[in-house]
Homo-oligomer: A and B are copies of this chain.
Amino acid sequence: MNTNNSVGIVATQSFTFADDAPMQLDSGETLGPITLAYETYGTLNPDRTNAILILHALSGHAHCAGYHSSDEKTLGWWDDCIGPGKAFDTNKFFVICSNVLGGCQGSTGPGSINPKTGKEYGLNFPVITVGDMVRAQARLLDHLGIAKLLAIAGGSMGGMQVLEWCARYPERVCAALPLATTARHSPMLIAFSEVGRQAIYADPNWNRGDYYDGTRPNAGLALARMIGHITYLSETSMHDKFGRRLEERERFGFDFETEFAIESYLRYKGERFTERFDANSYLYITKAMDYFDLCNGHRNLAAAFANSAKIVYLVVSFTSDWLYPTYHSKELVSALTAVGADVSYLNIKSSWGHDAFLLEVETMTGLVSNFLDRIVNEFGVK
């Protein structure tokens, strides 16, 4: 659990990177110009060898650590692990995090203005892939003058990007930390994605994605988020956190008002999500995840990593994560060892379900710090 109560660092600054050159997408379409919102923490060393790229999950964004200003109230989403003296120690490393392509928190996505029409893309935005997200990030690194990353790290969809980086740009990565993730999106993950999308489609305000001038499909988006939230927890963590406790009442109301604590938690999370997220981005990003399968076009998973054997890996799974079960990580480890890669793997005992990669701070801090220390030695970072 979170044992770190420090205020966290102040993020030095937010940036945007705009690239006018159109980008070729996996679908065959082109997209451009593109913008990526990103943040950096710590200092790039003169050799440019201490950069770590952090990759966010479905609902994440570039703001992964600290506050932007002293009156800001929301810490970065992975502040527990990123900052001075933390797992990703910003006294040593130059940490970068960008909002994914297709996102809605500063990067080009379906809510951005389509230069051809002067209005929001909506469903005219091309369907993108995790590979497209990663290609856009590679351009950002070119722009920053970083030829090779010391490490790349991320959980869930962030882990998919980590693996895509390893497969596409093995020469640009020293070490990779795919956490609570999979090399191929499972049918259960697709099923939950699709139900979330259906919830958005069913909201009349969605209007086939054309809602930016009107009322937003918040009911559908909140519902999609509620479904997601259940899957990020575990049966045990729900028992521990909520049990069958009633919210603000002592006995059953025999009506359809919110009664159980778990219900009000989900409703609250769903509603809050609509304040910061765009329903169309939810569609595009879940679709990108559904398409994610590193085996695509390869004989098997090991073949996908044929050129990635020189990267050093730390693979982490969590025992109670039923959404990205342990055996997915084990398959990944097996494929990586088959090509002769240096792989450390830990299946962390945790009751927190999929969210564990964000919550098991103490274990993660020890594990990641040690691993990065080794990488620093191995790759001679000054």
Contacts and interface: CB of A to CB of B under 8 A. Distances in A.
Nearest to A217: B202
Contact of A230 (B127, B195, B238, B258): B195
Contacts of A291: 252
Interface stretch (A33-41, A75-83, A180-188): A180-188
Interface string A277-311: 00000010001001101000000000000000000
Contacts of A283: 256
Interface of A: 27-29, 123, 126-127, 184-188, 190-192, 194-195, 197-199, 202-204, 219-220, 222-223, 226-227, 230, 233, 235, 238-239, 241-244, 252, 254-256, 258-263, 266-267, 270, 283, 287, 290-291, 293, 322, 325
A197 B192 CA distance: 17
Contacts of A252: 27, 291
A191 B254 contact: no
Contacts of A293: 244
A263 B203 CA distance: 19
A295 B263 CA distance: 20
Contacts of A263: 190-191, 194
Given A191-B238, A191-B262, A194-B260, 6 more contacts: A127-B255, A187-B241, A187-B244, A188-B230, A191-B230, A202-B202
A240 to B, nearest CB: 9
A202 B186 contact: no
Nearest to A322: B322
A259 B239 CA distance: 36
A262 B198 CA distance: 14
Given A223-B195, A266-B195, A260 B187 contact: yes
Contacts of A322: 235, 322
A247 to B, nearest CB: 11
A311 to B, nearest CB: 25
A244 B185 contact: yes
A244 B291 CA distance: 9
Nearest to A218: B202
Nearest to A263: B194
Contacts of A192: 230
Contact of A187 (B202, B203, B258, B262): B262
Contacts of A184: 244
A227 B190 contact: no
A192 B230 CA distance: 8
A238 B287 CA distance: 18
Nearest to A233: B188
A312 B140 CA distance: 68
A93 to B, nearest CB: 36
